[in-house]
Structure formats: structure tokens, C-alpha cells
Amino acid sequence: MAETIAAERRMLTDAEFEAVVGTHYPDICGLEKGELISIARRVRDYRDKARDVTRQRRREQRGKAEPRSANPAPSEAGTARKKQLFAAALKRVNKQIDRLEKLERRPSQGEIARRALEMKRANQVRHHPSAGWTARGGMRPLPNRGDTVQVDPREVGRVSQFVKSAQVRRDG
């Protein structure tokens, strides 16, 4: 779950908070790529430090590592939360860097083709005016006065049987 800026202020030191507070929207949108890279470097260092301290404390609690001090290792919950805050800040910074790089990058062939297809589809409207008024019913059909051959259906069957018999005689 995302932490509020007030909660971040309570958990982080002043230097850590100064690095993280600039990664929130809308502040992050006004930063240039070089500034974002330097912020990412600092936040990554803080995250790595919190990760290492958390690992060390867990190892001390399990008895796998020698304690760094005479006192037993405190709970690693606070440093684990810090690590999560730094990881979220680093994620925001990396996304913004990716957005800026995407804007700088030349379009791919797929993007060019999609844009061309959009332009083609937008241009498919008809450019010529309508023909105007037309005749009401249109032309009247003229009946064909020529004789049509009417074949008796029985004749069709007789011819088909004749052809079938001739084929058998020829192949036979």
C-alpha cells in the first residue's frame, strides 16, 4: 500500500526524505532526464543500504551472523518499510525516465504503419458531391420477346440415361 508523504517524512531521515519527496507526482513531471537519473542513483543507494541492514538484522536474529553490537539486533520492520518506500520511489523515477525516453525515441515501423492506416481510414470519405435528383422509378424493364426453349423434364432424364449408357458401352 502506498504511504502518505507525512508517513514518509516520519520514517525517513531528512536527506532520505529530500531524495524521495521529488519523486511524487506532479513534481516528477517537471524534472529533466539528467535530474531523474541522479535522483534514481541516490534512491537506489538508499534502497540498497536499507536492504543490506534489513538482511543483516534478520541474520542476527536467526543467529546466522555475529551481532554488530553488544545489544541484540532490533527488529528489521522499520528498515524493511524504508526499503519499500525507496523501491516505490525508484519505480516512479524509472517509469518517468521511460516516458521521457519514449518521447525522444523515433517511432517504430509498427507505429508508423498504424498512423498511416488511421490517416487512410480518415480519408475514405467521399469527396464528390451527390448526383442530385434522379428519375422516380428509374427505367422500366422491357420483357424479352424472344422464344425461350421449354424442355420437358422427362426429356432431360432420357438424355442423361442415353449418355450414361453410351459411356458404359465405350468403357466396357
Q: Are 39 and 31 in contact (CB under 8 A)?
A: yes
Q: Average pLDDT, stretch 104-129?
A: 88
The average pLDDT across 20-30 equals 92
> What is the distance between the alpha carbons of residues 20 and 88, in angstroms, rounded to a whole number?
9
Confidence of residue 28 (pLDDT cuts 50, 70, 90): very high
pLDDT at 114: 96
Looking at per-residue pLDDT, the higher value among 26 and 138 belongs to 26
Mean pLDDT of the chain: 88
Cβ within 8 Å of residue 67, ≥6 positions away: 60, 73
- Name the pTM for this structure: 0.59
Range list of H helices, 12-141: 14-21, 33-62, 77-104, 109-122
- In order, the DSSP letters of 104-152 are HSPPPHHHHHHHHHHHHHHT-S--SPP-----SS-PPPPPP-SPPPPPP
Q: How far apart are CA 52 and CA 9, in angstroms?
A: 21
pLDDT tens sequence across 39-84: 999 999 999 999 999 998 888 888 888 877 767 777 888 899 999 9
